[in-house]
């Protein structure tokens, strides 16, 4: 068949079909994997605990710093009032 034939439509869409088919063929085995691999639960728990602890430490540091600054301001104001 040649482009001069009235049945010629063009084959531009065959690449899309082949790409879609290849994507499906690759996706089916990947979809068969579990959400978490066996034996990863302890690692996940350890990372979660580390994250929670680091967030608590940051929160405590920010409270300490804000308390320090507010106490410092009070002392500075007191010193300015009473030279």
Can you tell me the distance from the alpha carbon of 65 to that of 45, in angstroms, rounded to the nearest whole number?
30
- Kind plus residue range of the DSSP H or E element containing 62: helix 41-81
How many structural domains comprise the chain?
1
φ, ψ at 12 (rounded to 5°): -65, -25
**Listed ranges 2-6, 29-33, 37-41; the one with the highest mean pLDDT:** 29-33
Is residue 61 assigned to a domain?
A: yes
User: Are residues 10 and 16 in contact, defined by beta-carbon separation less than 8 angstroms?
Assistant: no
Tokens representing residue 3 in the block: 């482009």
Question: What residues make up the domain containing 73?
Answer: 42-83
The pTM of the whole model exceeds 0.85: no
* pLDDT, tens digit (0-9, with 9 covering 90-100), for 43-73: 888 888 887 777 777 766 666 666 666 655 5
Q: Does residue 62 lie within any of the structural domains?
A: yes
> Is 28 within a domain?
no
Distance CA 19, CA 13 (A): 10
Task: Decide if 14 is inside a domain.
Answer: no
The percentage of residues in the chain with a pLDDT greater than 70, rounded to a whole number, is: 67
- For the stretch 17-38, pLDDT in tens is 999 999 999 999 999 988 888 8
Domain-located, residue 76: yes
């Amino acid at each position: 068949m040649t482009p001069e034939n009235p049945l010629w439509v063009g084959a531009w869409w065959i690449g899309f079909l082949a790409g879609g088919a290849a994507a499906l063929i690759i996706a089916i085995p990947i979809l068969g994997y579990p959400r978490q691999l066996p034996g990863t639960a302890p690692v996940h728990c350890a990372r979660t605990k580390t994250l929670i602890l680091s967030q608590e430490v940051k929160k405590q540091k920010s409270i300490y710093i804000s308390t320090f600054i507010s106490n410092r301001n009070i002392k500075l104001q007191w010193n300015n009032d009473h030279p």
